[in-house]
Amino acid sequence: MLPERPAEDRAEDPGARLKRLAMRAGRRGMKEMDIVLGPWAQAHLGSMAAAELDLFDRLLWENDQDLLAWVLGQAAPPADYAGLIGRIAGDARDRLRPGALRPDGPGRR
């Protein structure tokens, strides 16, 4: 069963919700998931329908070790998350493949 979003989050302002989701996606506690989820959230949250945002919100309540295994294909995600995880993993593969990073990008000297 997927985790339920806390009741106080259900009535929040849509703009505040997007900011909260982006913040939680980019500051996970596991650097690998920060790198995968943060940029994905920044790129996609604004265009997601309410039901997709609800699903992403629930996904953010999952354990980072589970999320990483799902994104890397080391374990199958719950069926409800499969499509979303597939999109996130595909984006990460495209963004993080060798040669995809600019040589003068962040963290480069």
What pLDDT is attached to residue 107? Answer: 46
Task: State pLDDT tens for residues 4-39.
Answer: 555 555 678 999 999 999 999 999 989 999 999 999
Task: State pLDDT tens for residues 62-109.
Answer: 999 999 999 999 999 999 999 999 999 999 999 888 776 555 555 444
Spell out the domain ranges in the chain: 14-96
Concatenated DSSP letters for 42-83? Answer: HHHGGG--HHHHHHHHHHTTS-HHHHHHHHHTSSPPPGGGHH
- Cα 72 from chain centre: 13
* CATH T-level fold of 14-96: DNA polymerase; domain 1 (1.10.150)
What pLDDT is attached to residue 7? Answer: 52
What pLDDT is attached to residue 102? Answer: 56
The model carries a pTM of: 0.79
Q: Are 65 and 30 in contact (CB under 8 A)?
A: yes
What pLDDT is attached to residue 2? Answer: 58
| C-alpha span between 25 and 40 (Å, rounded) | 8
Query: Where does the pLDDT of residue 1 fall: very low under 50, low under 70, confident under 90, or very high at 90 and above?
Result: low
